[in-house]
Structure 1
């Protein structure tokens, strides 16, 4: 779990950006990618739910995910699946400067999503209840996770399955009323880090821990005994969204959102436009082979009114 160290820490992460619909907040997402090489955005399910659940525009937007969408039988699960992929594709489209319906998602062995053919932009997706969360990075791996701040996680049985001995000791030193949200913070950090490295639930949460949010000291991955497990190549932050607030690093109300972002050491990709990430000869050959089909249906392409599903 130990990794090489750096002397200079990565730039700080921007606050999560609220995206109220297809036309809102994208300038801030672009600005965060430009400044930090990382952007985190969140939205409400109600703002991204499809109205025409079987319409052709939804099918065009979901692409390879269409069959997976049809296999889901519970209406709410289907709606959340469609809405989360729509938000993710719109966000990726902003980073790649392409219409969202042209973005293709793939999935790793653990279900981790990635952008087919565009590995210069890493992505992560999370949702809980009616909150949707997306992370984008052009400098390395990223993982995001969200939970309600008041989720009742603090029980001794759960502690044994989630926390390292070092974390358990630190939690039990806290006043009782702060232990619940402190455990939610640890949970989301562990989920975010596990997603970022592509392990998901394969990595037991008792095998690694996290330091406290004792600013200005950065948050670090720790061994079960409390020794450092990562260096400055990883950056971790916890935020509060939807009505909560931060008080000395502790979240009160709303949702707890944690981000894990790595720096591959090559700097952020400054130009993430899809046509500059691909080999020009390949683009020319594909465009010639497809002919007119290579162009979107209109200038809006799927960017214009795809939410009128």
Structure 2
């Protein structure tokens, strides 16, 4: 958490953008980043089926993740892994002004994805039940999470595994029909915040929280007192009443990034190494209408 008293960044968050396949309207993503310094986009996994790319093209797109893809044995898990990474690379490429196959992903100690050779654009990834979710941010970190809106989380053990004492008290005071939706919103926000700070599930959900009954503004301590003051922007969203989304964006204090083009920020040595590794043949193969 951030010490109280930090100046608010004034960052806002827009609506999630639907991307229906590689030929989607990527200009909306760039416009959202220019306006808010953050963008959230979603897609149906069926629109990003890896078999549509073909094996040679998919191998180029996955890059270093190709070996991880081959190690996955369950067909649905493999397909979701490939689809989510390809969507993420197309999104990053649209913002950076490069080809998707030149984008390489790296992973932190706790699995948090990042862009190799370019730290001006922060990324986050989530997927559930056929939905793919990507978060992008400049001038700060971002975390996103998605859950089916009919997932049941309210029940015994709420205070032992999911909620702080303050959250439990507020949730139990709600009408019964509102309790599970409130817990679900809290869960996605906690997942998003944990992803953004790079701790994942290592940060116990009972050690920090949010206000269950109003729009989230700050991270709260277990007793309900503010743990952050204006250092973060939070939002809960929904897609067609089918999915509940949580978004957390932390401000770095240096303002919103306006120039995201890789040609002005990416290390030229990294670009040269990627081009050499991919080879001219792979680049020519990648130039197709869709993939």
List gaps (5 residues or longer) in structure 1.
245-253
Deviation at 1:220, TM superposition (A): 1.1
Report if aligned partners of 2:144, 2:246 keep a CA contact under 8 Å in 1: yes
| Aligned positions of 1:72-87 closer than 5 A | 72-87=72-87
| Aligned positions of 1:7-22 closer than 5 A | 7-22=7-22
1:268 aligns with 2:256: yes
Q: TM-score, length-normalised on structure 1?
A: 0.87
Distance 2:277 2:225 in 1: 58
Report if aligned partners of 2:43, 2:131 keep a CA contact under 8 Å in 1: yes
Residue 217 of structure 2: aligned partner: 219
Residue 118 of structure 2: aligned partner: 118
Describe the shift of the 1:283–1:256 C-alpha distance in structure 2 as closer, same or farther (beyond 3 A).
Answer: closer
Match of 2:46, SS state, is helix
Deviation at 1:292, TM superposition (A): 11
Residues 234-261 of structure 1, C-alpha deviation per residue, up to 9 Å, x if partnerless? 11000001x12xxxxxxxxx10001000
Distance 1:47 1:86 in 2: 11
Match of 1:51, SS state, is helix
Report if aligned partners of 2:6, 2:230 keep a CA contact under 8 Å in 1: yes
Describe the shift of the 1:279–1:93 C-alpha distance in structure 2 as closer, same or farther (beyond 3 A).
Answer: closer
Residue 197 of structure 2: aligned partner: 197
Distance 2:22 2:140 in 1: 26
Report if aligned partners of 2:8, 2:229 keep a CA contact under 8 Å in 1: no
Report if aligned partners of 2:217, 2:230 keep a CA contact under 8 Å in 1: no
Residue 173 of structure 2: aligned partner: 173
Report if aligned partners of 2:90, 2:100 keep a CA contact under 8 Å in 1: yes
Residue 188 of structure 2: aligned partner: 188
Describe the shift of the 1:223–1:230 C-alpha distance in structure 2 as closer, same or farther (beyond 3 A).
Answer: same
| Aligned positions of 1:239-254 closer than 5 A | 239-241=237-239, 243-244=240-241, 254=242
Describe the shift of the 1:187–1:21 C-alpha distance in structure 2 as closer, same or farther (beyond 3 A).
Answer: same
Distance 1:224 1:214 in 2: 17
Distance 1:3 1:294 in 2: 51
Match of 1:206, SS state, is coil
Residues 62-100 of structure 1, C-alpha deviation per residue, up to 9 Å, x if partnerless? 000000000000000000000000100001101111110
- Calculate the aligned-residue CA RMSD, in Å: 2.3
Describe the shift of the 1:105–1:236 C-alpha distance in structure 2 as closer, same or farther (beyond 3 A).
Answer: same
Q: How many residues align?
A: 290
Match of 1:221, SS state, is coil
| Aligned positions of 1:1-309 closer than 5 A | 1-3=1-3, 5-51=5-51, 55-212=55-212, 214=214, 219-241=217-239, 243-244=240-241, 254-279=242-267, 282=269, 286=272, 290=276, 293=279, 297-298=283-284, 302=286, 304-305=288-289, 307=291
Describe the shift of the 1:293–1:74 C-alpha distance in structure 2 as closer, same or farther (beyond 3 A).
Answer: closer
Describe the shift of the 1:208–1:56 C-alpha distance in structure 2 as closer, same or farther (beyond 3 A).
Answer: same
Distance 1:43 1:193 in 2: 22
Match of 1:11, SS state, is coil
Distance 2:164 2:4 in 1: 23
Report if aligned partners of 2:153, 2:184 keep a CA contact under 8 Å in 1: yes
